Amino acid sequence: MALRRCWRFSGLVPRLLWRSPIPPGSSIGGRSTSVPSFANTYRCYKSTGVRWFGSQLSHTDVSYEQLKQLLDGQKTVVIDVREPWELREYGFIPGSINVPLGHVITALQLDPDEFREKYDAELPQQTDNIVFICLAGVRSKTLSNKALNSKEFKQYK
């Protein structure tokens, strides 16, 4: 019974905070409140996808046209993180390297000869631009975020 009441209360608190009737800058009992700023942060996050208190994203989403320019101009390596059966079923970008998502961390730490033997391509250099791709963009974005925040990937930024 007590658990049911706590459960109801826990669902009520976020709704009260996000729909707070307290106007911004007001105070309760002589103390200022942070409830409106939290509510505004949540609304900003829902509309823009970026949290007010978060830092800017340091990775870049690449459009098709940008990818074509990158592949034509600079040294860019495209790593497809889909499973091999997905490549057979949905196709692939010519020149991309297929390294399934679960193998990327260990693959980028292999010796160049081992990488060439296993993936039939050259190991990306530290100066190369690396573009991760997948079918819907979820896995590649997850890997990009992990690459930018992980010690294993610092040399591949």
Asked if 98 contacts 120 with a C-beta cutoff of 8 angstroms, the reply is no
How far is residue 141's CA from residue 151's CA, in Å, rounded to a whole number?
17
Phi-psi region of 91 (alpha: psi -120 to 50; beta: other; left: phi over 0): left
Taking Cα atoms as reference points, which of 120, 116, 115, 140 lies closest to residue 130? 140
134 is catalytic: yes
Catalytic option among 134, 139, 140, 144 = 134
Name the residues annotated as catalytic.
134
